[in-house]
Amino acid sequence: MTVKQSVAWQALEAHLQKDIAPYSLKQLFTNAGARRFEDLSVATDGLLLDFSKQKLTPDTFSLLIDLAQQQGLGEATNALYSGGEVNRSEMRPALHTALRATPSDQGGDIQIDGQQVSQLVANNLLDMERIATKIQQGEWLGYSGQPITTVINIGVGGSDIGPHMVCHALDEFRVETKFPLEIMFVSSMDGSQLAEMLQHLDQASTLFIIASKTFTTIDTLANAETARAWLRKRIPSDSLIGQHHLVGCSAFPQRMAAWGIPVENQIALWDWVGGRYSLWSGIGLPIAIKLGMRGFKQLLKGAHAMDDHFQNAKPEQNLPVMLALTGIWNINFLGLKAHTLLPYDGRLKLLPNYLSQLEMESNGKSVTNTGESVDFDTSPVIWGDVGANAQHAFFQLLHQGTPAYYADFIVPIKRTASSEYTQATRTQLDYQQALNLANCVAQSRVLMLGDDVLAWDQSMVTSPDRLYPGNHASSTLMFDELTPENLGKLIALYEHKVFVQAVVWDINPFDQWGVELGKQIAKTTLSAIEKRQAGTITAADVKFDASTEGLLNHVFRQQS
């Protein structure tokens, strides 16, 4: 039996039919009056979440909280924090909360394989600090004695998107370095990003971070080999390359060593840190290099504050719980299968991409923890962009298109312009932030009310092209200002949201078996292509489907 057959689910179905389905969003506002915002928003320590533009009432939340409690949310959360085997298919804990915990926290004494987790984390932070500080102070020298001025992180998925997103978002918090320092990210398997960068770089002053939890990911290893081939062109030996130009972060030190990364340039990782939950670990080294250890620890501090909040706040005041339950309501009861994330801040441009991995790789599942097929939807399709830019792109579909979706608007209240600007520039930047905030609030209002936002007679609208149906659900998340601490809170908020939804659905958010088959088949396909090109096998030796065969034949013809 899945959660769909449970008492709490059935109660929500009945509530939907009786109390929600008959009404539009506008009517729900009219029914509740001014109280609706007070009743359906939660504020905590620098963050405010407004759920009032969702198609629900306070009773909906009471019933959703019953559902979460029925599914054992309290016990599951305790298991998550205390190192229980919450990743059931791989029989391991998921201890990203321990990466940002203080030693005195509950769970600070978790032991894994006879090792104390808090001690491992503390040592790891010291290793990161040692490497980051040397680079910042211009003391990390290339093989010829020149200081490192370019750091390139080679990784993919969780070993790329998280640090990349944070480095981009918090660029203005970068620490001063002795020499100008560029931090770049390379992930694409085709080598195009790397090829473009290498043209403009000097081997003598470039350091590569090879970031791969498994150290077997072909995308990352292929880019790393290309980088090494480029280094070899100028640097006389592999030992000089390893010592001066390579740093690695992986859960497999032997693999790093075998590949040529010396022990002193390795940062440890552990199987109890999931890839998409790893920016808080050594995988976050580019962040520590950019922000300094102080900035990196502020990011951790913010995430830790959210961990505390999630563990201790009552469900109705609990931001991750409320955000998750809103999603459950939209996906499972209102049938909304697409979710758009709209940060109104250019610095958060990469956030939708980051959150789409976090949510879709975690909860894009179709069997429960006991192996039963689900008979309800799990993760929606997630996409997004900087909200103000998306207004000139896919908002047309949001306002007048046909697919059903819901939206999260994410916006900082203020933005402090650097004191290095003139007063006139600062005034103009303040105006732009006001403009941005107004657009954010206006768009969610128009999505909700459609044409009714205007005090006009709709019969005056002559063309149906100009009609806006409205009645689209959204939440708005406001935070004081974009700082390392607030970004830490924001990311951890979504991590815990994903966890709560997984608990309700009884699925495992910490594995990703769905990505494995494609990797395996790509390997055998590559081998078949190479053998066909070398003439050691013919088409008759490998049975591909007609489409794959046709595509490969086209490639062979074009290449010959």
Nearer to ligand F6P, 213 or 497 (CB): 213
- Of 208-216, 344-352, 409-417, 475-483: span binding ligand F6P (CB under 6 A): 208-216
Q: How far is the CB of 161 from ligand F6P (least distance, A)?
A: 8
Structural tokens at position 297:
């620890």
Assess contact for 246 and 207: CB atoms under 8 A: yes
Nearer to ligand F6P, 257 or 429 (CB): 257
Which stretch in 88-96, 210-218, 306-314, 381-389 sits in contact with ligand F6P by CB under 6 A? 210-218
3-state secondary structure 461-507: CCCHHHCCCCCCCEEEEEECCCCHHHHHHHHHHHHHHHHHHHHHHCC
- H or E, element range at 555: helix 546-559
**Total interface residues for ligand F6P by CB under 6 A:** 14
Kindly name the residue from 200, 314, 392, 543 that is annotated as catalytic.
Answer: 392
Question: Smallest distance from the beta carbon of 453 to ligand F6P, in angstroms?
Answer: 42
245 is catalytic: no
Of 381 and 537, the one with the shorter C-beta distance to ligand F6P is 381
CB closer to ligand F6P, 156 vs 386: 156
Q: Quote the CA–CA distance of 326 and 58 in Å, as a whole number.
A: 11
Cα 250 to Cα 253: distance, rounded to the nearest angstrom: 6
Residue 278 beta carbon to ligand F6P: minimum distance, rounded to whole angstroms: 7
- Give CA–CA dist 287/310, Å, rounded: 25
Q: In what order do the strands lie in the sheet with 246-250?
A: 182-186, 150-154, 206-211, 246-250, 266-268
Considering beta carbons, is residue 245 or 276 the nearer one to ligand F6P? Answer: 276
Nearest CB to ligand F6P, comparing residues 54 and 187: 187
Q: Using the rule CB under 6 A, is 214 a contact of ligand F6P?
A: yes
Evaluate whether 489 touches 47 at the Cβ level (below 8 Å).
Answer: yes
- Report the residue from 136, 212, 362, 436 that binds ligand F6P according to the rule CB under 6 A: 212
Contacting residue, 515, 521, 539, 551, with ligand F6P by CB under 6 A: 515
Q: Does 353 bind ligand F6P (CB under 6 A)?
A: no
The nearest distance, CB 13 to ligand F6P, in angstroms, is 35
**Site map (CB under 6 A) of ligand F6P, residues 116-155, x = contact:** ----------------------------------------
Distance of closest approach, residue 291 Cβ to ligand F6P, in angstroms: 22
Q: How far is 431 from 538, CA to CA, in rounded Å? A: 66
Nearer to ligand F6P, 390 or 507 (CB): 507
Note whether 217 binds ligand F6P by CB under 6 A. Answer: yes
Nearer to ligand F6P, 220 or 391 (CB): 220
| Window 254 to 283, contacts with ligand F6P (CB under 6 A) | 275-276
State the Cα–Cα distance between residues 275 and 216, nearest whole angstrom: 13
353: left (phi over 0), alpha (psi -120 to 50) or beta: alpha
- Do residues 204 and 234 touch, judged by C-beta distance below 8 A? yes
Q: Which is nearer to ligand F6P, 68 or 156 (CB)?
A: 156
Closest approach, Cβ 515 to ligand F6P, in A, equals: 4
Give least dist CB 214 to ligand F6P, A: 3
Active site residue 392: yes
Residues 366-425 that bind ligand F6P (CB under 6 A): none
| Segment contacting ligand F6P by CB under 6 A, of 13-21, 213-221, 473-481, 535-543 | 213-221
- Residues 75-114 touching ligand F6P, rule: CB under 6 A, are none
Q: Is 157 exposed, middle or buried (0-12, 13-18, 19+ CB in 10 A)?
A: buried
**Rounded Cα gap, residues 79 and 558, in angstroms:** 56
DSSP, residue by residue, 308-355? HHHHHS-GGG-HHHHHHHHHHIIIIIS---EEEEEESSGGGTTHHHHH
CA 216/CA 235 separation, integer angstroms: 25
From the list 178, 519, 523, 554, the catalytic residue is: 519
Q: Three-state SS for 514? A: helix
Give the tokens for residue 351.
């956030």
Q: How far is the CB of 300 from ligand F6P (least distance, A)?
A: 20
Following DSSP, what letter does each residue of 400-468 receive, concatenated?
H-SS-EEEEEEEES-----TTS-HHHHHHHHHHHHHHHHHHHHHHHHHHHGGGGSSS-GGG---GGG--
d(CA 284, CA 51) in angstroms, rounded, equals: 32
State the Cα–Cα distance between residues 297 and 485, nearest whole angstrom. Answer: 8
Q: Is-contact 98 117, C-beta < 8 A?
A: yes
Q: Which of 283, 280, 291, 287 is nearest to 267 (CA)?
A: 283
Among 159, 203, 298, 332, binds ligand F6P (CB under 6 A): 159
Q: Left (φ > 0), alpha (ψ -120 to 50) or beta: where does 187 sit? A: alpha
Binding range to ligand F6P, per CB under 6 A, among 157-165, 222-230, 425-433, 500-508:
157-165
Task: Single out the catalytic residue among 359, 361, 485, 495.
Answer: 361
> Which of 100, 213, 290, 365 touches ligand F6P (CB under 6 A)?
213
Q: Which residues between 218 and 237 bind ligand F6P (CB under 6 A)?
A: 220
Question: Per CB under 6 A, does 156 bind ligand F6P?
Answer: yes
- Based on the residue annotation, tell me whether 301 is a catalytic residue of this protein: no
Q: Where are the alpha helices (DSSP H) in 33-147?
A: 35-39, 58-70, 73-82, 96-99, 117-136
* Contact between residue 410 and residue 343 where contact means Cβ atoms under 8 Å apart: yes
**Under the criterion CB under 6 A, does residue 508 sit at the interface with ligand F6P?**
no
> Considering the complex, what minimum distance in angstroms separates the CB of residue 513 from ligand F6P?
10
Nearer to ligand F6P, 219 or 485 (CB): 219
**What are the residue numbers of the active site?**
361, 392, 519
- Which residues contribute to the site for ligand F6P (CB under 6 A)? 156-159, 212-214, 217, 220, 275-276, 361, 512, 515
